[in-house]
Amino acid sequence: MDEGKMIIFSAPSGAGKTTIVKRLLIEIPALEFSISACSREKRKNEVHGKDYYFIPVEDFKQKIKNGEFVEWEEVYDGHYYGTLISEVERIWNRGKHVIFDVDVKGGLNIKKQYGDKALAVFVMPPKLSDLETRLRSRSTETEESIQRRMSKAEEEIGYALKFDRILVNHELDTAVENAKEIVNNFLKQE
């Protein structure tokens, strides 16, 4: 396979996209996860090259100038996130399709660049209050970061209709089954 397809999952923080993507990776062997790059510090249990490619801010900015990203964004002040072109090529060279777990703007940027080769899925929380509950249950967020993420979530939900599909995550197992069906149908298309 020269170039495979791309499956993009985006959602507000706490909507369940990461959990859904992890389950899809187990259940659909043709997929491989695209590891994002970021400029933030590594958290306690994170591993470079597995959770993210951790790149210092100045190096990240240089890679932007060099055109090394499929997409990138300054998500929060001084916190850059993006997808390296080399990461997509690495996965396609292994004969796999790329699955992304990216923020909303990044997802739309990938879709815009790759058109019909990419399927963009927006994971919608049932209610905004559910997002706040999930964020608080993580115990990794400060009150300030929860408020910032909630504000951003409201903005991101406004972009949902620009995605190919909207997947409402009322109940995780059902959402995973629905996601599996959406992805498998897309992969079967010529």
By the 8 A CB rule, do 80 and 63 touch? no
Task: Copy the structure tokens of residue 165.
Answer: 């599909």
- Helix residue spans in 1-84 (DSSP H): 17-27, 57-65
- Evaluate if pTM is beyond 0.85: no
pLDDT value at 19 more than 60: yes
- Taking the C-alpha atoms of residue 47 and residue 50, their distance in angstroms, rounded to an integer, is 5
pLDDT value at 136 more than 60: yes
pLDDT, one tens digit per residue, over 140-165 is: 778 888 887 777 777 788 889 999 99
Q: What is the pLDDT of residue 145?
A: 80
How far is C-alpha 22 from the geometric centre of its chain's CA atoms?
Answer: 11
Q: What is the DSSP string of 111-175?
A: HHHHGGGEEEEEEEPS-HHHHHHHHHHHS---HHHHHHHHHHHHHHHTTGGGSSEEEE-SSHHHH
State what percent of residues in the chain have pLDDT above 70: 98
Q: What is the pLDDT of residue 141?
A: 74
How far is C-alpha 55 from the geometric centre of its chain's CA atoms?
Answer: 18
Q: What is the pLDDT of residue 148?
A: 79
Question: What's the chain's average pLDDT?
Answer: 90
Q: What residue ranges do the domains of the chain occupy? A: 6-183
Q: What is the pLDDT of residue 128?
A: 72
Helix (H, G, I), strand (E, B) or coil at 38: strand
The Cα-based distances of 79 to 6, 75, 169 in angstroms read 25, 6, 27
**CATH domain 6-183 topology:** Rossmann fold (3.40.50)
pLDDT, one tens digit per residue, over 87-133 is: 999 999 999 999 999 888 889 999 999 999 999 999 998 777 777 77
- Taking the C-alpha atoms of residue 106 and residue 82, their distance in angstroms, rounded to an integer, is 7
pLDDT value at 40 more than 80: yes
pLDDT mean over 47-70: 95
pLDDT mean over 20-48: 95
pLDDT value at 1 more than 70: no
Q: Which of 98, 102, 132, 93 lies closest to 37 in space, CA to CA?
A: 102
Sheet holding 37-38, edge to edge: 53-54, 37-38, 79-84, 69-76
pLDDT value at 186 more than 90: yes
Which residue type sits at 134?
Answer: R
